[in-house]
Structure formats: C-alpha cells, structure tokens
Amino acid sequence: MLMYTAAVFGLGAVTLQAQFPQSPVDPARSESGSKIYATNCARCHGDDARGTANAPDLIRSVAVLHDRRQMLYGKELAPLLTTLPGHNFKFSEKELGDLSQFLTASINGILRSGYNSQPTNLLSGDAKAGEAYFNGAGGCSKCHSTTGDFAGLGKRYSPAALQQKFLFPGSGLFVKRKVQATVKLASGKTYTGDLVRIDDFTLTLRERSGETRSFNRIPGIKVTTVDPFAGHEELLDKYTDTDIHNLTTYLVTLK
C-alpha cells in the first residue's frame, strides 16, 4: 500500500485545523467498524491503525484517503479497501462502510492532535517530475494555466494548503466553484446556472442574475451538469504518493 507522509495528515492542533476539514462520521457505524478492525486488522496494522513492522499505517493510505473524500462530498461510500493486495476480504458492503467510518474517525483524531506541530516532508518531491505530471499524466494543464489562474500560486498558499487544495478542492476553505447545470427545453430555449438541487424528477438552478428556476424533468427536456472538480475526483484513484509530493513541490515554485 502507498503511504502518505505527514504532508496531509500530520497537522497542528490549532493553526492548520481549519484548512483540513474533518469528514462527517456516524458514531454508531464507527463503533461497529472499530470492532471489525479490532478483530480482523489490528494484529497487523496496530491497535491505533498507525501501522506496525508487519503492515503500513492505514490512516495515511491512498485507499482510506479516497473513502474520506467520498464522505467529505456526502457521497455513498464505495470503499477501496476491497482492492488492497494481499487481503482476502469477506466483508459485506455494510461492514466495509463501517470499517471506513472507523478509519475516517481515526483521521479526524489526527486532525485534532497530529503527529507533529507542523506538517513535514511536504516538499520532498521532484519539481521537474511534478511539472511533467502537471502537463502530462495529471492533465492539470487542460484546465489550469501557470501564467493564468495558477500564476503566483506559490505566493498565495502555503505548501500544506496547496496540497490540500488539489486533493480536496471542493471542501473546507476552498469551495469556490459550483456544479453548473444547463436545461434545454423542447422549444430550444436554454437556462444555465449554479446547480441548487437535482433528483429524478426536478432540477433547480440559480442563474447569474440571482434568479432561481425550477424545472420538471419531463420528456423533451435535456439536462446537462458539469462538475468543476470531477477531474480531481478521478485523479484520487490514480495518484501515487510520489505524484502528490512531486506535484506539491512543483506548485510551490509558481511564484
């Protein structure tokens, strides 16, 4: 399993806590997950999930980070814990969800106390490799420009905030862009604005003028939504620990 350094999770108790939002946790499900963990996982990963000589620190793992992000966005869990190599899980979907709740509660505990008073090893990556990732495999340059919206990025944010910003762009202090919705009526007239609410039957959007409009989703109406953070969510399943640190190190150079 790939491991995170304290770059994301080893946080100070006061000054940085607001930058790193805690994920919502259901206490009952977390308690259920703690029992599953104690019975099946603690022997290798430690009673506190921080790893042993035989197995890594789970609360800094890519799989658990993915599940934490799902919780932050209020999405139904689809735990990546089922994909970990070397494990033969026989848990139900409910049990896996409970286990994720417990591990996320453990992460929240770190956000309050932390391994260190300040994040460490944030800039241990390779800036050149980060630049290559930005312009290549990461696809960052498709939406962002180092001479446009990212100009001077390294001056505007601390390394910790930068890393948090691209890992969790739609949470905490960094929520700035909303899902955009476009409704095209059978007549051809279109309405576009910030998505307020959508389900199988209705959609509500807020136009730039501030006016709110609601539509019944009936035959003949075409609805299109664009999530500005969709690319970031997709990357969370692809990042390696090295990619994250290389990208952070590169973004800091954008002065």
CATH of the domain at 210: 2.30.30
Does pLDDT of 136 surpass 90?
yes
**Mean pLDDT, range 187-215, rounded to an integer:** 93
Considering the domain architecture, whether residues 74 and 106 belong to the same structural domain is answered as: yes
Strands (E) across the chain are located at 180-184, 190-198, 202-206, 212-216, 222-226
**Mean pLDDT, range 77-101, rounded to an integer:** 70
**Tokens 């599953």 correspond to what residue?**
36
Structural domain including 220 reads 180-226
**What pLDDT is recorded for position 246?**
93
**Tokens 């790893």 correspond to what residue?**
51
Query: Does residue 120 lie within any of the structural domains?
Result: no
**What pLDDT is recorded for position 81?**
59
**Tokens 């009952």 correspond to what residue?**
28
Greatest mean pLDDT among 77-91, 93-107, 167-181 lies in 93-107
The count of other CB atoms within 10 Å of the CB of residue 104 is 28
**Mean pLDDT, range 187-196, rounded to an integer:** 94
Considering the domain architecture, whether residues 248 and 157 belong to the same structural domain is answered as: yes
Does pLDDT of 74 surpass 70?
no
Query: Does residue 27 lie within any of the structural domains?
Result: yes
**What pLDDT is recorded for position 43?**
87
Q: How many CA atoms lie within 13 A of 209 on its CB side?
A: 5
Considering the domain architecture, whether residues 86 and 195 belong to the same structural domain is answered as: no
What's the pLDDT band for 250 if we cut at 50, 70, 90? Answer: very high
What's the pLDDT band for 11 if we cut at 50, 70, 90? Answer: very low
Phi-psi region of 49 (alpha: psi -120 to 50; beta: other; left: phi over 0): left
Higher pLDDT, 164 or 136: 136
**What pLDDT is recorded for position 56?**
79
Higher pLDDT, 51 or 150: 150
Considering the domain architecture, whether residues 98 and 42 belong to the same structural domain is answered as: yes
Higher pLDDT, 209 or 70: 209
What's the pLDDT band for 115 if we cut at 50, 70, 90? Answer: very low
Does pLDDT of 117 surpass 50?
no
**What pLDDT is recorded for position 124?**
84
pLDDT, one tens digit per residue, over 212-234 is 999 999 999 999 998 888 888 78
When the pLDDT of each residue in the chain is averaged and rounded to a whole number, the result is 77
Considering the domain architecture, whether residues 144 and 240 belong to the same structural domain is answered as: yes
Considering the domain architecture, whether residues 10 and 53 belong to the same structural domain is answered as: yes
User: For the whole prediction, is pTM greater than 0.75?
Assistant: no
**Mean pLDDT, range 30-55, rounded to an integer:** 86
Q: What are phi and psi of 24, to 5 degrees?
A: -65, 140
Q: Which of 8-17, 57-66, 82-91 has the lowest mean pLDDT?
A: 8-17
Query: Does residue 73 lie within any of the structural domains?
Result: yes
Query: Does residue 156 lie within any of the structural domains?
Result: yes
The answer to whether 194 touches 206, Cβ cutoff 8 Å, is yes
**Mean pLDDT, range 189-209, rounded to an integer:** 92
Query: Does residue 148 lie within any of the structural domains?
Result: yes
**What pLDDT is recorded for position 30?**
86
The number of distinct structural domains making up the chain is 3
Query: Does residue 119 lie within any of the structural domains?
Result: no
